Amino acid sequence: MSIITPVTRLESPAVKADALDARRLRDDFPIFAQSVNGHRLVYLDSAASSQKPRAVLDAMRDAYETGYANVHRGVHTLSQRATEAFEGARRKVARFINAASADEIVFVRGATEAINLVASTFGRSLRAGDEVVLSELEHHANIVPWQMLREERGIVLKIAPIDDTGTLSLDRFAALLSPRTRMVAMTHASNALGTITPIAEIIRLAHDAGALVLVDGCQAVPHAPVDVQAIGADFYAFSSHKLYGPTGIGVLWGRAAELNALPPYQGGGEMILSVTWERTTYKKAPHRFEAGTPPIVEAIGLGAAIDYLQGIGLGPIQAHEQGLLAYATQRLSALPRLRIVGTAERKAAIVSFVLEGVHPHDIGTILDQKGVAIRAGHHCAQPLMHRLGLPATARVSFGLYNTMDDIDKLVDGLHMVMELFD
């Protein structure tokens, strides 16, 4: 398997948006058969949550109809069938991100729980004065759990700054590292600006300082190949629902040695080897972190989403979305009164912007009347908005089903917005 890192693969090459047939792929997504407010649906909010292909919906329905039972503990046919499908999904995830073993894949409710799991368990070893380094690009899910630890244990949070383009400075990041740095928790790609961080170099610098690294990969894994061994991370988190899979499930990948060094996250069935009134012994990862009945059918749906994406190819998807990003940047930049927020050289397929004299919520509401769905708000990144001096932005984000026609519809809608607010 290639060891090209996501840093390289997520760069923004000069590519065309016809690298795959997005119009044909739209037919794989039942939601696009409908109209919204009398218009063809233009869905530009995949960074919040992606739409689901029929292959995922069919796999989940089939699991409920023909192979549903609780997993691991049953000896009957349905339980064995469900267990094989569930653990098969774990193996698919491991191959998808090039984990060394399926035992390094922990199923959780989403990336938020994955980050909380690490913060809650690793955090028990932290002492007052120990340091955790974040960045100004982080989603609240990678801020609040560490703030909670600061309140509980007196740790120190250091924040790696960005410049006005939204680019993270490696030199300024490196200057924050010290012998007290225990963890670096960093996004791979910003959900609010699209900025792609130089994650492999961040990890190298953190390891040189003796720190572990947790990567929020929610905005990376749907858009380009990610190899967790190549980038050298210790933990990597992402959610299914941004990866064309169902809600209610996500992934925490961790190196086996690091996972097994963590104490249990929750107590209950499945995560134990034995229980007496005197003591309990726990299983190794991943099961020690999966107390209770897991999201069985959701895992099967995630596995089906991975099959679907790999059938298309992450390379063509990346090329297609980078072409859309280039075209959208060109067209939006030409609009009067519009300013793109976040102009880093390397970006995922996300464009945030503000329009002079118009609140982002008004932009989103008016565009919706034309069937164009975008996101408006602080994008669960209020510290970043504060850094940029903005209360909110409008954000468009692309998926494999988007086309240049979608961008043209967006621009037509923005012309209407500007006319209304003249």
Is residue 239 within 8 A of residue 302, CB to CB? The reply is no
Pairing between β-strand 212-216 and β-strand 235-239 as defined by DSSP bridges: parallel
221, 271, 299: which is closest to 121 by C-alpha?
271
Query: Which helix (H) or strand (E) is 254 found in, with range?
Result: strand 250-254
Rounded CA-CA distance 278/299 in Å is 35
147, 193, 146, 145: which is closest to 168 by C-alpha?
193
Rounded CA-CA distance 365/373 in Å is 9
Does 218 participate in catalysis according to the annotation? no
Q: Which of 200, 380, 404, 411 is catalytic?
A: 380
Q: Angle between the 404-420 and 360-368 helix axes, to the nearest 10 degrees?
A: 120
- Please identify which residue in the block is written with the tokens 């905005």: 219
Q: List Cβ neighbours of 417 (8 Å cut-off, separation of 6 or more).
A: 355, 358, 362, 363, 366, 367
Residue 88 neighbours by CB distance under 10 Å: 14
Query: Which helix (H) or strand (E) is 106 found in, with range?
Result: strand 105-108
DSSP for 345-369? SSB-SEEEEEETTB-HHHHHHHHHT
Q: On the CB side of 208, how many CA atoms lie within 13 Å of its CA?
A: 10
Please tell me whether residue 238 adopts helix, strand or coil conformation. Answer: strand
Catalytic residues: 380
